[in-house]
Amino acid sequence: MEIIIQPTYAKLVAVSAQIIRDALLKKPNLVLGLATGSTPIGLYEALARMHKIDGLDFSKVTTFNLDEYVGIPSSHPYSYHTFMETHFFSAVNISPENCHIPQSIVVGHEEFCEKYEAAIVNAGGIDIQVLGVGKDGHIGFNEPSSSLGSRTRLKTLTQSTLEANAPHFGGTVDAVPKMAITMGVGTIMEAKQCLLLASGESKAEAIAHAVEGSITAEVPASVLQMHPRTIAVIDEGAASQLKRVDYYKQVYANKQKLLSQEH
């Protein structure tokens, strides 16, 4: 795993937006896997600015979101459909028919999940999968103990996730939907590249385990150690429990130096 440690969230955003921008300039019909949550908001804002100011073109881009709650309408203010529309889709020139988000109803979920997987394959697979990480190490809504080979499916959320998401539902855990449809860990692992973002000390333990701990279903993000092309862009807070911070910084500095000599 390549670990890029940045001093601030703003710098984390700048580095991750640059990675997506470069990929999009190379491949205009990029297939992006997208996450919701607070972590990627700055990334979406930065990409929207690149579109507005530099004309970064999303017209041929296809997207697949990781997950969506079930049991609330997709028009709910805190559904992931609404989140994506608000924070990203409405701010760039992406075609609505190219944007895919899991359904928010339970009826027909098995058939839906199969079709979602097939749609990813038909699109040529995900080029870059943006990921956040839960405090408990979840990716997507793949909670601890999720099969590391799991596919898109209906999943019950843990108490820790319900509590983390309660502020969006009036502050009460009872109001948070208890289930979601999520891409599986195996689905995520098929992305050609993963871009894991984490900010703040509350993510430090999850990042330390994901990057330097043993690979275990108890910390689904740890499976990314087996992914051939995962870049983790994290800030100092999220890096604060890593053992090899100096080495990761040295690796990144050397790479930047080499790249600057090439140009």
Which spans of this chain sit near ligand F6R (rule: CB under 6 A)? 35-39, 66-67, 132-134, 138-140
Q: What is the DSSP letter of 51?
A: H
Q: Which of 68, 117, 143, 235 is catalytic?
A: 143
**Beta-carbon count within 10 A of 66 CB:** 27
Q: Is 236 one of the annotated active-site residues of the chain? A: no
Provide, rounded to whole angstroms, the least separation between the CB of residue 140 and ligand F6R.
4
Q: Is 22 one of the annotated active-site residues of the chain? A: no
Which residue, 175, 159, 165, is CA-closest to 132? 165
- Comparing CB distances to ligand F6R, the nearer of 33 and 263 is 33
Phi, psi of 210, rounded to the nearest 5 degrees? -60, -40
Q: Which of 51, 67, 87, 109 is catalytic?
A: 67
- Comparing CB distances to ligand F6R, the nearer of 154 and 251 is 154
Q: Is 143 one of the annotated active-site residues of the chain? A: yes
Cβ(155)–Cβ(45) below 8 Å: no
- Comparing CB distances to ligand F6R, the nearer of 94 and 133 is 133
Distance separating alpha carbons of residues 224 and 41, to the nearest angstrom: 22
Distance separating alpha carbons of residues 67 and 91, to the nearest angstrom: 21
Q: Which of 117, 127, 136, 236 is catalytic?
A: 136
Q: Is 138 one of the annotated active-site residues of the chain? A: yes
- Comparing CB distances to ligand F6R, the nearer of 134 and 184 is 134
Cβ(30)–Cβ(94) below 8 Å: no
Residues assigned a catalytic role: 67, 136, 138, 143
